Chain A
Amino acid sequence: GENVEQHPSTLSVQEGDSAVIKCTYSDSASNYFPWYKQELGKRPQLIIDIRSNVGEKKDQRIAVTLNKTAKHFSLHITETQPEDSAVYFCAAPSSGSARQLTFGSGTQLTVLP
Protein backbone atom coordinates (compact mmCIF):
# COMPACT_ATOMS: atom_id res chain seq x y z
CA GLY A 1 0.00 0.00 0.00
CA GLU A 2 0.90 3.69 -0.05
CA ASN A 3 3.58 4.85 2.37
CA VAL A 4 3.57 8.53 3.34
CA GLU A 5 6.54 9.96 5.24
CA GLN A 6 6.27 13.42 6.81
CA HIS A 7 9.03 15.67 8.17
CA PRO A 8 9.72 17.30 10.52
CA SER A 9 7.63 15.95 13.38
CA THR A 10 7.93 19.26 15.25
CA LEU A 11 8.67 22.74 13.95
CA SER A 12 9.00 26.01 15.83
CA VAL A 13 9.19 29.33 14.00
CA GLN A 14 9.07 32.98 15.01
CA GLU A 15 5.93 34.87 14.15
CA GLY A 16 6.26 36.32 10.67
CA ASP A 17 8.73 33.70 9.46
CA SER A 18 7.93 30.97 6.94
CA ALA A 19 7.30 27.31 7.71
CA VAL A 20 7.85 24.38 5.36
CA ILE A 21 6.64 20.81 5.90
CA LYS A 22 7.61 18.01 3.52
CA CYS A 23 6.05 14.69 2.62
CA THR A 24 7.13 11.83 0.39
CA TYR A 25 4.93 9.10 -1.04
CA SER A 26 5.63 5.75 -2.59
CA ASP A 27 2.92 5.11 -5.22
CA SER A 28 3.77 6.86 -8.49
CA ALA A 29 0.11 6.52 -9.56
CA SER A 30 -1.08 8.82 -6.74
CA ASN A 31 -2.73 11.92 -8.15
CA TYR A 32 -4.26 13.84 -5.24
CA PHE A 33 -2.41 15.38 -2.29
CA PRO A 34 -4.32 17.20 0.48
CA TRP A 35 -3.10 18.93 3.62
CA TYR A 36 -5.11 19.02 6.84
CA LYS A 37 -4.77 21.22 9.91
CA GLN A 38 -5.81 19.90 13.32
CA GLU A 39 -5.99 22.21 16.31
CA LEU A 40 -5.82 20.70 19.77
CA GLY A 41 -8.96 18.72 20.52
CA LYS A 42 -10.55 19.58 17.20
CA ARG A 43 -11.30 17.81 13.95
CA PRO A 44 -8.80 17.79 11.04
CA GLN A 45 -9.73 20.41 8.44
CA LEU A 46 -8.72 20.50 4.81
CA ILE A 47 -6.65 23.63 4.16
CA ILE A 48 -5.32 23.06 0.66
CA ASP A 49 -4.95 20.27 -1.88
CA ILE A 50 -3.23 19.72 -5.20
CA ARG A 51 -3.74 17.36 -8.10
CA SER A 52 -0.92 15.81 -10.05
CA ASN A 53 -1.53 17.86 -13.18
CA VAL A 54 -0.13 21.02 -11.53
CA GLY A 55 3.14 21.74 -9.77
CA GLU A 56 2.03 24.45 -7.36
CA LYS A 57 -1.12 25.88 -5.83
CA LYS A 58 -1.50 28.98 -3.64
CA ASP A 59 -4.20 30.24 -1.33
CA GLN A 60 -3.23 33.47 0.41
CA ARG A 61 -0.41 32.61 2.86
CA ILE A 62 -0.52 28.89 2.12
CA ALA A 63 1.00 27.09 -0.86
CA VAL A 64 1.62 23.50 -1.82
CA THR A 65 4.26 22.32 -4.29
CA LEU A 66 4.43 18.92 -5.94
CA ASN A 67 7.39 17.13 -7.50
CA LYS A 68 6.03 14.00 -9.16
CA THR A 69 9.43 12.82 -10.35
CA ALA A 70 10.83 12.81 -6.83
CA LYS A 71 7.47 11.81 -5.33
CA HIS A 72 7.35 14.54 -2.75
CA PHE A 73 5.11 17.48 -1.94
CA SER A 74 5.48 20.34 0.51
CA LEU A 75 3.33 22.78 2.45
CA HIS A 76 4.57 26.36 2.69
CA ILE A 77 3.12 28.86 5.15
CA THR A 78 4.37 32.42 4.86
CA GLU A 79 4.07 35.26 7.40
CA THR A 80 3.17 32.81 10.12
CA GLN A 81 0.82 33.88 12.91
CA PRO A 82 0.16 32.35 16.35
CA GLU A 83 -3.16 30.96 15.10
CA ASP A 84 -1.21 28.84 12.60
CA SER A 85 -0.01 26.75 15.57
CA ALA A 86 -1.52 23.27 15.10
CA VAL A 87 -0.70 19.79 13.85
CA TYR A 88 -0.51 19.53 10.06
CA PHE A 89 -1.06 16.25 8.21
CA CYS A 90 -0.30 15.46 4.60
CA ALA A 91 -2.07 12.61 2.81
CA ALA A 92 -1.98 10.64 -0.42
CA PRO A 93 -4.35 8.10 -1.95
CA SER A 94 -3.85 4.53 -0.85
CA SER A 95 -2.78 2.13 -3.57
CA GLY A 96 -5.77 0.65 -5.29
CA SER A 97 -8.23 3.27 -4.08
CA ALA A 98 -8.01 6.91 -5.05
CA ARG A 99 -10.58 7.83 -2.41
CA GLN A 100 -8.96 6.19 0.58
CA LEU A 101 -6.24 8.41 2.02
CA THR A 102 -3.09 7.42 3.87
CA PHE A 103 -1.98 10.17 6.25
CA GLY A 104 1.48 11.23 7.28
CA SER A 105 2.44 11.13 10.94
CA GLY A 106 1.86 14.85 11.43
CA THR A 107 3.93 17.95 12.16
CA GLN A 108 3.37 19.98 15.31
CA LEU A 109 3.90 23.59 14.24
CA THR A 110 4.43 26.17 16.98
CA VAL A 111 4.53 29.84 16.05
CA LEU A 112 6.32 31.81 18.74
CA PRO A 113 5.13 35.38 19.34
Chain B
Amino acid sequence: NAGVMQNPRHLVRRRGQEARLRCSPMKGHSHVYWYRQLPEEGLKFMVYLQKENIIDESGMPKERFSAEFPKEGPSILRIQQVVRGDSAAYFCASSNDYNYGYTFGSGTRLTVV
Protein backbone atom coordinates (compact mmCIF):
# COMPACT_ATOMS: atom_id res chain seq x y z
CA ASN B 1 0.00 0.00 0.00
CA ALA B 2 1.63 3.21 -1.17
CA GLY B 3 -0.10 5.40 1.40
CA VAL B 4 -1.37 8.87 0.59
CA MET B 5 0.49 10.23 -2.41
CA GLN B 6 0.88 13.94 -2.94
CA ASN B 7 2.61 15.67 -5.79
CA PRO B 8 4.52 17.67 -6.43
CA ARG B 9 6.55 17.71 -3.19
CA HIS B 10 7.77 21.22 -3.93
CA LEU B 11 6.15 23.80 -6.17
CA VAL B 12 7.41 27.27 -6.99
CA ARG B 13 5.05 29.73 -8.62
CA ARG B 14 5.33 33.40 -9.51
CA ARG B 15 2.68 35.76 -8.22
CA GLY B 16 -0.40 35.59 -10.41
CA GLN B 17 0.20 32.04 -11.64
CA GLU B 18 -1.93 29.02 -10.86
CA ALA B 19 -0.95 26.19 -8.52
CA ARG B 20 -2.43 22.69 -8.83
CA LEU B 21 -1.78 20.26 -6.00
CA ARG B 22 -2.67 16.59 -6.37
CA CYS B 23 -3.55 13.96 -3.80
CA SER B 24 -4.24 10.27 -4.26
CA PRO B 25 -5.76 8.76 -1.11
CA MET B 26 -4.83 5.39 0.32
CA LYS B 27 -6.42 2.42 -1.37
CA GLY B 28 -9.85 1.85 0.14
CA HIS B 29 -10.11 5.39 1.51
CA SER B 30 -12.97 7.49 0.19
CA HIS B 31 -12.67 10.53 2.47
CA VAL B 32 -10.13 13.23 1.58
CA TYR B 33 -9.16 16.31 3.60
CA TRP B 34 -6.89 19.24 2.77
CA TYR B 35 -5.04 21.20 5.44
CA ARG B 36 -2.69 24.15 5.23
CA GLN B 37 0.31 24.58 7.52
CA LEU B 38 2.31 27.78 7.82
CA PRO B 39 5.88 27.54 9.19
CA GLU B 40 5.87 26.70 12.91
CA GLU B 41 2.09 26.75 13.01
CA GLY B 42 -0.68 24.22 13.27
CA LEU B 43 -2.82 22.47 10.69
CA LYS B 44 -5.70 24.58 9.43
CA PHE B 45 -8.65 22.79 7.85
CA MET B 46 -9.51 23.80 4.31
CA VAL B 47 -11.88 21.29 2.72
CA TYR B 48 -13.36 17.79 3.13
CA LEU B 49 -14.36 15.80 0.05
CA GLN B 50 -15.71 12.44 -0.96
CA LYS B 51 -15.86 11.14 -4.50
CA GLU B 52 -17.54 13.80 -6.66
CA ASN B 53 -18.78 15.67 -3.59
CA ILE B 54 -17.55 18.57 -1.50
CA ILE B 55 -18.72 17.80 2.04
CA ASP B 56 -17.38 20.89 3.80
CA GLU B 57 -15.36 23.76 2.34
CA SER B 58 -15.79 26.14 5.25
CA GLY B 59 -12.04 26.50 5.76
CA MET B 60 -11.25 27.44 2.20
CA PRO B 61 -11.05 31.09 1.07
CA LYS B 62 -14.02 31.96 -1.11
CA GLU B 63 -11.90 33.40 -3.88
CA ARG B 64 -9.06 31.85 -5.87
CA PHE B 65 -9.24 28.45 -4.10
CA SER B 66 -11.15 25.41 -5.32
CA ALA B 67 -11.02 21.67 -4.76
CA GLU B 68 -12.37 18.59 -6.43
CA PHE B 69 -12.29 14.83 -6.05
CA PRO B 70 -13.49 13.36 -9.35
CA LYS B 71 -14.86 9.88 -9.88
CA GLU B 72 -11.57 8.89 -11.49
CA GLY B 73 -8.19 10.26 -10.52
CA PRO B 74 -6.72 12.20 -7.64
CA SER B 75 -8.15 15.02 -5.61
CA ILE B 76 -6.99 18.43 -6.83
CA LEU B 77 -6.53 21.61 -4.82
CA ARG B 78 -6.33 24.55 -7.18
CA ILE B 79 -5.11 28.02 -6.26
CA GLN B 80 -5.55 30.67 -8.91
CA GLN B 81 -3.58 33.93 -9.10
CA VAL B 82 -1.29 32.95 -6.24
CA VAL B 83 0.01 35.60 -3.83
CA ARG B 84 2.97 35.48 -1.44
CA GLY B 85 0.62 34.72 1.46
CA ASP B 86 -0.31 31.41 -0.17
CA SER B 87 3.20 30.11 0.52
CA ALA B 88 2.74 27.18 2.91
CA ALA B 89 2.79 23.42 3.18
CA TYR B 90 -0.46 21.86 1.98
CA PHE B 91 -1.21 18.44 3.43
CA CYS B 92 -3.76 16.01 2.19
CA ALA B 93 -5.13 13.25 4.42
CA SER B 94 -7.51 10.37 3.84
CA SER B 95 -9.62 8.02 5.92
CA ASN B 96 -11.87 5.05 5.30
CA ASP B 97 -15.52 4.44 6.18
CA TYR B 98 -14.69 2.55 9.38
CA ASN B 99 -12.16 4.69 11.21
CA TYR B 100 -11.79 8.38 11.87
CA GLY B 101 -8.00 8.35 11.97
CA TYR B 102 -6.24 10.23 9.20
CA THR B 103 -3.31 9.10 7.11
CA PHE B 104 -1.42 12.12 5.85
CA GLY B 105 0.52 12.54 2.65
CA SER B 106 4.02 14.05 2.62
CA GLY B 107 2.65 17.44 1.69
CA THR B 108 3.27 19.95 -1.09
CA ARG B 109 5.44 22.89 -0.15
CA LEU B 110 4.28 25.85 -2.20
CA THR B 111 6.55 28.85 -2.54
CA VAL B 112 5.27 31.97 -4.28
CA VAL B 113 8.01 34.28 -5.52
Chain A residues near B (Cβ < 8 Å): 1, 32, 34, 36, 42-46, 49, 89, 93-94, 97-106
Contact = CB atoms under 8 A, between A and B. Distances in A.
Given A44-B43, A44-B91, A99 B106 contact: no
- With most chain A CB atoms within 10 A of its CB, the pick from B45, B100, B107 is B100
Contact of B101 (A42, A43, A46, A102): A46
Main secondary structure of the interface of A (DSSP, over half): strand
A104 B33 CA distance: 17
Given A43-B91, A46-B101, A46-B103, A100 B42 contact: no
B100 A97 contact: no
B42 A106 contact: yes
Contacts, number: 57
A103 B42 contact: yes
Contact of B100 (A89, A98, A102): A98
Given A97-B56, A103-B43, A46 B102 contact: yes
26 contacts: A34-B101, A36-B102, A36-B104, A43-B104, A43-B105, A43-B107, A44-B43, A44-B91, A44-B104, A46-B102, A46-B103, A89-B42, A89-B43, A94-B45, A97-B48, A97-B56, A98-B100, A99-B31, A99-B48, A99-B95, A100-B33, A100-B45, A101-B45, A103-B35, A103-B42, A106-B42
